Amino acid sequence: MRALLLDKIVSLTENTSPLRRVNWPVPEPAADEVLIRVHACGVCHTELDEIEGRAPPPRLPVIPGHQAVGRIAALGSKAAGLRIGDRVGVAWIYSACGVCGYCRRGMENLCAEFQATGRDAHGGYAEYMTARADFVHLLPDEFSDVQAAPLLCAGAVGYRALRLAGLTDGQDLGFTGFGASAHLVLQLARRQYPNSRFYVFARSVQERAYARDLGAVWAGDITDTCPCLLQAIIDTTPAWTPVLMALNNLAPGGRLIINAIRKEEADKDALLRLNYAQHLWREKEIKSVANVTRDDVRQFLRLAKDAGIRPEVEEYPLAGANRALLDMKHKPARGARVLRMI
């Protein structure tokens, strides 16, 4: 089968091709697994964190990709509840132990044995992949393959961030960064909080215009001052400077949700400018998002279907994965980037 392999940690520049195209054996599903013929796979900023070493895979080589959509081609002997031909998705959560205190409380995203698709196990930048049967997700017919892919991570982790924000209807919400995740969460938030207003801080003119198209009442640069103080802000950027700017724009008692696996070290000096009185005093909170649970994914898929949410998608062929990653690193996008295999 065709696949893209990450062999080593590299720094992504305009001339870098971090993934190697290979002919890889089709994997055999274990007893509790399914074999999936991959149709599409989303491209996520977390792949940049893996490639550049901020969240390195424990073993190399590895096939990246954790927003995979396809159809079940084979079933392991103990795989239950699924049939050959079912259309399913595989998200960032590849597995968790199921028995620790976090797992028993429905917080499997915090399990010490949490494994990530495309990092701890081979992912969806390939024509076939395997996944545990109890960690795949049946997909609504309303979404095409390329539309469903970003819902599995950008949408699901964004939904988790929205819940952690603790917003009530009528309170104002901000977003720093406006890419694959934020453009989906804004659509959902408008339906869940019809009396709230939404503000967006984004680095590019195109992203700001897109945010206004989707219902933001105001969109400015990352460094701009918001017209009003906000009860909550969801940060989806890879840098630290937007965190400081977001704290400036929080109301007393407001909450900043950092929706990123890692932050880039190149911007770490911004933390030296953190001033307690200016940024944190008056009971402001900072909360991180750590991974997702299966329930996050399944709830968001239902909500997105019911709300008629459709992601904006830029498609690439599987062979164009390196180009997609470089575009993600260096160019703003209107929505999500997805690899198409079929």
Taking only the tens place, the pLDDT of each residue in 33-92 is: 999 999 999 999 999 999 999 999 999 999 999 999 999 999 999 999 999 999 999 999
- Tokens 């945010």 correspond to 211
Same domain membership, residue 279 and residue 170: yes
pTM to 2 decimals?
Answer: 0.95
Instruction: Please check whether residues 190 and 257 belong to one and the same domain.
Output: yes
**Is residue 152 a part of any domain in this protein?**
no
In this structure, the answer to whether residues 130 and 185 fall within a common structural domain is: no
How many CB atoms neighbour CB 300 within 10 A? 29
- Is residue 298, in this structure, part of any structural domain at all? no
Q: Please list the pLDDT of the chain residue by residue as tens digits (342 residues).
A: 999 999 999 988 877 899 999 999 999 999 999 999 999 999 999 999 999 999 999 999 999 999 999 999 999 999 999 999 999 999 999 999 999 999 999 999 999 999 999 999 999 999 999 999 999 999 999 999 999 999 999 999 999 999 999 999 999 999 999 999 999 999 999 999 999 999 999 999 999 999 999 999 999 999 999 999 999 999 999 999 999 999 999 999 999 999 998 988 777 778 778 888 899 899 999 999 999 999 999 999 999 999 999 999 999 999 999 999 999 998 888 899 999 998
The SS3 assignment for 244 reads helix
Task: Please check whether residues 252 and 332 belong to one and the same domain.
Answer: no
Does a structural domain hold residue 184? yes
pLDDT on residue 270:
80
Claim to verify: residue 48 and residue 113 sit in the same structural domain:
yes
What total of structural domains would you count in the chain? 2
pLDDT of 274 reads 85
pLDDT confidence of residue 333: 80
CATH number at residue 212: 3.40.50.720
Answer yes or no: is 147 within a domain. no
Give yes or no for a contact between 306 and 191, defined as CB atoms under 8 angstroms apart: no
Identity of the amino acid at 53:
G
> What residue has token string 């909080």?
193
Same-domain pairing of 162 and 260? yes
pLDDT of 8: 95
105: in domain: yes
Residues 215 and 115 in one domain: no
Within this chain, do residues 29 and 76 fall inside the same structural domain, yes or no?
yes
Question: Residues 185, 66: one domain?
Answer: no
Q: What is the CATH number of the domain that holds 334?
A: 3.90.180.10
- Domain hosting 55: range is 2-139+312-340
165 and 274 belong to one structural domain: yes
* Cα–Cα distance measured from residue 14 to residue 180, given in angstroms and rounded to the nearest whole number: 21
Question: Is residue 51 situated within a structural domain?
Answer: yes
Is residue 166 a contact partner of residue 255, using CB atoms and an 8 Å limit? yes
135 and 10 share a domain? yes
Please state the φ and ψ torsions of residue 264, each to the nearest 5 degrees.
-75, 135
Q: Within this chain, do residues 269 and 336 fall inside the same structural domain, yes or no?
A: no
Give φ, ψ of 31 to 5 degrees: -60, -40
- 91 inside domain: yes
Residue 212 lies in a domain: yes
